[in-house]
């Protein structure tokens, strides 16, 4: 038996804990193979079930990955200017960063927003801000991804309303919202409501978009942040799939069929770590997800089985020490994404441990991807690592590990319960602590951190200029909108939001109406909170 589950003390393992042998042969590929429900070797062809090699037959030969750098800061005008800069330099998509008050459902003049307005992203209070943010941008050509979760239902409604006002047909509108609230309870932390109503809102958006904006991706399920919080690569996939299944189960209960919405679910995964482990993670994940959707849910439309993903970021792999080294890391991470068949890539910029990325740093990240596409010959053939003894064996072993972790989650009562009682958070955070200990002991090697160090002066990064008047500027606009809108219509729309929340009906139509009346993010959040209450964080260790 070539698949060793219990390696000896001198075994070399990847981050997911799987043993790496010094040499692989064809025997390892055969011995590690999983039972394939449809027969075959589990490798197959790109564009064909189980999609190990890619979801499209021609992949990058037909179209390179979408380059979608993450950006947003200050107010809507500031961000609109940066959007236009990114598009002018060759970004083919936008990935929007919102400030923390917007993400937490607070208006810019809320007491809790102290010091946070426009800081880590763009401040949005009303539809007015959204209109300004996308002014002059052809959102049919440039697809937009909204990195928003706790308040996602409101921001999706604003985005759809903006598109409609601009004359775009919602039935043709593409784009993505992150809208994965379950992972927010594990990492990232922009939850608002308790777990149950939070996932109901996710189901509301999926159901609403399936009917009203069928090409829009209302959820991007994120292994990304769970990995950043301490999970290993196999856990990253397994937890993301468990979360995606939780959303699917809720939507199925609403009476939709799997093929009516599964094809619009997308995923967001991380790319830092060891190159081959990452590539195998993606190949294994693609195959395993296809099996879940086909075998467990009975999907018949192949598109429902596709693991469509943004594979990007890599923030936790970057270092504050010798920040220029992060440019090199970014290039390897982008290579991982390209070898893994990602649909979309966004790279963390080399200065991100210090600041909101400068235009210069954004351009370096974009050029990194463009060099891969234009110069490196990565787009000519699909899944070039297929057939490697090592890659196929490790793909098999990663899939087995993902399945094992998912079964373990089921045994522990399911992902929703593990998140609600804090068990998953405690597990992931324990791993982050162990990792930090290994980093400090030098067992886990990190260049510039615990080896190959230099005495550094001031870092060569350009700090983002924060203006103290950002908050006042944003609050001024908020007050202008409040003064100019029809107060009676706003009050009625907000009452309708609370009423929809209290009923078992989908809340989205009422939220869309409220948004169109220029109700604020804070007002709509409070209208929901009156019914849903607020999340109380379990702090288990």
Q: Which residues bind another protein (CB under 8 A)?
A: 100-101, 103-104, 106, 111-116, 119-120, 184, 187-190, 228-230, 319-321, 353-355, 429-430, 432-433, 436-437, 440, 449, 458, 463, 466, 537, 539, 541
Looking at the Cβ atoms of 132 and 226, the one nearer to another protein is 226
DSSP conformation letters of 165-223: HTT--TTT--EEE---HHHHHHTT----S-HHHHHHHHHHHHHHHHHH-TTEE-EEEES
Looking at the Cβ atoms of 222 and 248, the one nearer to another protein is 222
Looking at the Cβ atoms of 184 and 401, the one nearer to another protein is 184
Q: Output the smallest distance, CB 189 to another protein, in A.
A: 2
Q: Output the smallest distance, CB 119 to another protein, in A.
A: 5
Looking at the Cβ atoms of 187 and 197, the one nearer to another protein is 187
Peptide bond preceding 50 in cis form (omega within 30 of 0)? yes
Looking at the Cβ atoms of 35 and 114, the one nearer to another protein is 114
Q: Output the smallest distance, CB 331 to another protein, in A.
A: 22
Distance between start and end Cα atoms, the chain: 39
Q: What string of H, E and C letters represents the secondary structure of 370-385?
A: HHHHHHCCCCCCCCCC
The residues, ordered by sequence, that sit 6+ positions from 385 with a Cβ below 8 Å of its Cβ are 279, 339, 391
Q: Output the smallest distance, CB 312 to another protein, in A.
A: 18
Rounded Cα distance between 394 and 381, Å, is 21
Q: Output the smallest distance, CB 319 to another protein, in A.
A: 7
Q: Output the smallest distance, CB 197 to another protein, in A.
A: 18
Q: Which residues pair with 312 in a beta bridge?
A: 270
Looking at the Cβ atoms of 97 and 416, the one nearer to another protein is 97
Q: Output the smallest distance, CB 442 to another protein, in A.
A: 12
Residue 319 contacts residue 325 (beta carbons within 8 Å): yes
Phi, psi of 428, deg, nearest 5: -65, -40
E-assigned strands of 51-142?
66-67, 70-71, 93-97
Looking at the Cβ atoms of 120 and 137, the one nearer to another protein is 120
Task: Please give the DSSP secondary-structure letter assigned to residue 55.
Answer: S
Rounded Cα distance between 345 and 94, Å, is 11
Q: CA-based angle 22:26:27, to the nearest 5?
A: 85
Looking at the Cβ atoms of 250 and 432, the one nearer to another protein is 432
Q: Output the smallest distance, CB 87 to another protein, in A.
A: 26
For the chain, give the longest Cα–Cα distance. Answer: 74
């Amino acid at each position: 038996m070539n698949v060793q589950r219990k390696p000896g003390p001198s075994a070399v393992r990847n981050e997911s804990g799987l043993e790496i042998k010094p040499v692989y042969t064809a025997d390892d590929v055969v011995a590690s193979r999983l039972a394939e429900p449809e027969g075959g070797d589990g490798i197959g062809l790109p564009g064909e079930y189980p999609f190990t090699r890619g979801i499209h037959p021609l992949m990058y030969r037909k179209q390179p990955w979408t380059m979608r750098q993450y950006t947003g800061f200050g107010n809507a005008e500031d961000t609109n200017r940066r959007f236009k800069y990114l598009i002018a330099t060759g970004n083919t998509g936008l990935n929007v960063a919102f400030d923390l008050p917007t993400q937490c459902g607070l208006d810019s003049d809320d007491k809790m927003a102290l010091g946070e307005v426009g800081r880590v992203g763009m401040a949005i209070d009303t539809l007015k801000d959204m209109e300004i943010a996308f002014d002059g941008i052809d959102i049919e050509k440039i697809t937009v991804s909204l990195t928003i979760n706790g308040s996602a239902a409101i921001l999706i409604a604003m985005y759809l309303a903006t598109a409609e006002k601009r004359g775009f047909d919602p039935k043709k509108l593409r784009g993505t919202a992150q809208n994965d609230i379950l992972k927010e309870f594990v990492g990232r932390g922009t939850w608002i409501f308790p777990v149950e109503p939070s996932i109901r809102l996710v189901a509301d958006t999926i159901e609403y978009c399936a009917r009203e904006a069928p090409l829009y991706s209302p959820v991007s399920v994120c292994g990304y942040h769970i990995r950043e919080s301490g999970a290993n690569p196999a856990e990253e996939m397994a937890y993301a799939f468990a979360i995606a299944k939780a959303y699917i189960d809720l939507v199925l209960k609403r009476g939709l069929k799997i093929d009516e919405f599964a094809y619009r679910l997308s995923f967001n995964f991380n790319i830092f770590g060891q190159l081959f482990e990452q590539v195998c993670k993606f190949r294994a994940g693609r195959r395993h997800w296809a099996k879940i959707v086909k075998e467990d849910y009975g999907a018949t439309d192949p598109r429902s089985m596709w693991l469509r993903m943004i594979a990007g970021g890599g923030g936790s792999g970057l270092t504050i020490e010798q920040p220029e080294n992060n440019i090199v890391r970014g290039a390897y991470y982008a290579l991982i994404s390209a070898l893994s068949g990602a649909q979309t890539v966004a790279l963390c910029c080399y200065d991100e441990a210090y600041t909101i990325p400068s235009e210069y740093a954004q351009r370096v990240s974009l050029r990194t991807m463009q060099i891969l596409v234009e110069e490196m010959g990565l787009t000519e053939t699909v899944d070039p690592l297929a057939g490697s003894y090592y890659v196929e064996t490790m793909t098999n072993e990663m899939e087995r590990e993902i399945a094992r972790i998912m079964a373990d989650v089921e045994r522990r009562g399911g992902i929703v319960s593990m998140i609600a009682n804090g068990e998953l958070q405690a597990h992931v955070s324990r791993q982050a602590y162990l990792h930090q200990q290994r980093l400090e002991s030098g067992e886990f090697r990190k260049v510039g951190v615990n080896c190959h160090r230099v005495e550094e002066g001031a870092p060569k990064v350009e700090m983002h200029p924060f203006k103290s008047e950002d908050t006042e500027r944003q609050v001024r606009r908020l007050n202008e909108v409040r003064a100019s809108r029809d107060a009676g219509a706003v009050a009625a729309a907000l009452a309708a939001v609370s009423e929809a929340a209290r009923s078992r009906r989908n809340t989205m139509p009422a939220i869309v109406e409220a948004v169109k009346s220029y109700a604020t993010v804070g007002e709509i959040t409070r209208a929901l909170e009156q019914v849903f209450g607020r999340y109380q964080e379990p702090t288990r260790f």
